[in-house]
Amino acid sequence: MRFKQTDTPLLAAMQYYVNDGVVPFHTPGHKQGKGMHSKLEQLIGKEALALDLALIEELDDFYEPYGCIKDAQELAAQLYGADHSFFVINGTTGGIYAMILATAGPGQKIIVPRNAHRSIIGGIILSGAIPIFMQPEIDHDLGIAMGVTPETVKATVAEHPDAKAVLIINPTYYGVATDLKQIAEIVHQSGMVVLVDEAHGPHLKFSPRLPLQALDAGADICAQSSHKIIGALTQSSLVHCREGRIRVPHLKSMLQLTQSSSPNYIMLASLDVARMQMAVEGEKLIEKSIDLANWVREEINKIAGLYCFGNEKIGNPGVFEIDPTKVTVTVKGLGLTGAEAEKILRHEYKVQAELSDIYNLLFMITLGDDEDEVRVLLAALADLALKYTKPIEPIEEKWENTHYPAAPQGVLSPRDALFGSTHMIPFDESAGMICAEIVTFYPPGIPLLCPGERITQEIIDYCRRLQQGGMHISGPEDCTLKIIKVVSCT
C-alpha cells in the first residue's frame, strides 16, 4: 500500500487542488465559497467552503475510484480488517439499502429482527424481498428490546432454509450485543449470508472491553455509522465486507444505485480523517470514553429513583455483552416518562439526551466528551430527581400494561403493499386491515407496523399509549395517526 495509517490521501488531494490556484469553472456554483451569501460563508468559513469540491480527474471518481478515494477506502479496510471498505455519504441508511439489495432480490426471503430500524424495512421495500421476522428478547423492567439469541436464529433458519441472508442488529441502540460469533456460525452452516447493522459499532474495534466487531465475529458485510460514535460528519458512514459470500462488483453497483453522483467532498474527507484519528489514537480515546461511562453509570446509580443498567444484565436472554458507552437511565422510579424527563433536562438544564422512550433516557459518551461534560449531566440528573419526582401514581403502575405488542402477521410483501391500491381509514377502526405504510416512533426508529402487515387492536392500543407518553411518530402520512393508509380489498 502506498500510504500509511497516519496519512489522509483524500484530504491531501483536496488541499492540493485548492492551493494550486486553479480557477474553477465547475460545480458547485458558489465556486469555493466566493458566491456564497455572507450569512453562511461567515459561519462555515472560507477554508471549509473551498473544500466543497466536485468530481474532477485528480479528485477521483466516487462510483469507480482509482485515485485518492480508492486509497482512503483501502486504508479504512486495512484498519478494520475488511477485504473492501466503501465510503457512504447518505448515512448508514444508504449502506443498509445497498447491503440488502446486494443479497436479497424480489421474492427472496431475508431474516431480520422485529426491532429492525426503519432503514432495514426501507431496504426490503426497495429490493422486493420478503422479510421473515425474528422476535428479539424483551426486558420488561426496562421496556426495551435486547438482542436476538442464537437459539432464535437457529430455529428461524431451520424453518426458512430457502432464505438468502440473515441481518442482525449488533449492538442495539442501547448498546446491547448478542453472541454474534455463534450466530454467524449458525447462519453460515445453512449457506446464508450474515449482514450486520453495526450503526452503533464503529468504535468496537478499538477496545477489548467492548463487544466483538462484526467482521471479527464472522460477518460477511456490515454498515457502520462513523458519524454516530467517532469523528466523522453527520451522514458519513462505512460499509465493510469480506469476499466470498458477497459479490463485490454487485455490491458496488448497489452502492452506486443508492448514493448521490455528486458526493459531498467535505463529508468524504471527514471519513478519511476519522479513520486516521482512530488508527493513531483510537485505543486511547475509546478507553477514555469507557472509563468515563463506567464512572457516570456508578454515580447515576447512587441517585434515588434512577437506574442505569450495566454488566449485571449480561447473561440475561439476548444480552451477551454490553457497550458501556451507551448510558441508559431508567427514570420510571421518579414517576416520569422518558419523554417528560428529556424535555425537563433540555429546557431546565440545557442537557440533551440522544433519545427517550417510555421509561428511559439514552446518553452517549463518546470521544468528544470529558469529565466536565459528564459532571454537568450528573448534576442535572441529581437535581431532576430532587425536584421533579412524582410521589403519586408510580410510572410503572401507570404503564404496567404497556409492553411490546405481539408481532403482526405478514400478509403481503412490503413492496406490494406500499405500491398497491390503498385508501385511508381511521386508525382506531383499522384492526384487521393490512397496513400500507410504516408506523414507527422515532427515535429509536423501530417500526411497529410495516407495509403488508395486518393491524391488530393490541398495536393500536400500544401506539395510543406511546402517544400519551409524548413519543414522536414518524413514517405514516398522517403523523398524528388519526388516519392510516391500508390496502384496499380487491
User: Cell 420510571 sits at which residue?
Assistant: 332
The pLDDT value given to residue 290 = 98
Taking residues 53-58, report their average pLDDT: 92
Q: Give the three-state DSSP class for 223.
A: strand
Q: What is the greatest pairwise CA distance in the chain? A: 70
273-297 per-position pLDDT tens digit: 999 999 999 999 999 999 999 999 9
The pLDDT value given to residue 322 = 98
Q: Is the pLDDT of residue 392 over 70?
A: no
Q: Is the pLDDT of residue 99 over 60?
A: yes
**What residues form DSSP beta bridges with 308?**
329
What secondary structure letter does DSSP report for 213? P
Q: Is the pLDDT of residue 453 over 80?
A: yes
**Phi–psi pair at 141, nearest 5 degrees:** -65, -40
Helix (H) or strand (E) run with residue 289 in it: helix 265-300
- Work out the mean pLDDT of the chain and round it to a whole number: 94
289-327 per-position pLDDT tens digit: 999 999 999 999 999 999 999 999 999 999 999 999 999
pLDDT band at 407 (very low <50, low <70, confident <90, very high): confident
The pLDDT value given to residue 400 = 55
The pLDDT value given to residue 352 = 98
Indicate the range of 354-363, 383-392, 440-449 predicted with least confidence: 440-449
Cis peptide preceding 405, ω within 30 of 0: no
d(CA 297, CA 289): 12
Q: Is the dihedral of CA 261, 264, 269, 275 positive or negative?
A: negative
Helix (H) or strand (E) run with residue 26 in it: none
Q: Give the three-state DSSP class for 168.
A: strand
Tell me if the pTM is above 0.85: yes
**Contact by Cβ (8 Å): 107, 287:** no
pLDDT band at 454 (very low <50, low <70, confident <90, very high): very high
Indicate the range of 51-55, 85-89, 396-400, 472-476 predicted with least confidence: 396-400
pLDDT band at 440 (very low <50, low <70, confident <90, very high): confident
DSSP class per residue in 385-438: HHHH---SS-HHHHTTT--PPPPPPB-S-HHHHHHS-EEEEEGGG-TTSBB-S-
The pLDDT value given to residue 445 = 64
d(CA 52, CA 263): 10
pLDDT band at 140 (very low <50, low <70, confident <90, very high): confident
In angstroms, the Cα distances linking 68 to 14, 226, 243 are: 9, 19, 23
Percent of the chain with pLDDT over 70: 96
DSSP class per residue in 42-66: HHH-HHHHHT-----GGG--SSS--
Nearest to 358 by CA among 447, 455, 441: 441
Taking residues 209-238, report their average pLDDT: 97
Taking residues 76-104, report their average pLDDT: 97
> What angle is formed at CA 196 by the lines to CA 67 and CA 404, rounded to 5 degrees?
145
344-387 per-position pLDDT tens digit: 999 999 999 999 988 999 999 999 999 999 999 999 999 999 99
Burial class (CB in 10 A: 0-12, 13-18, 19+), 483: middle
Q: Give the three-state DSSP class for 82.
A: coil
Nearest to 143 by CA among 471, 374, 380: 471
d(CA 354, CA 327): 10
Q: Is the pLDDT of residue 395 over 70?
A: no
Which residue blocks in 56-131 are alpha helix, DSSP H? 68-80, 91-103, 118-127
The pLDDT value given to residue 490 = 54
pLDDT band at 404 (very low <50, low <70, confident <90, very high): confident
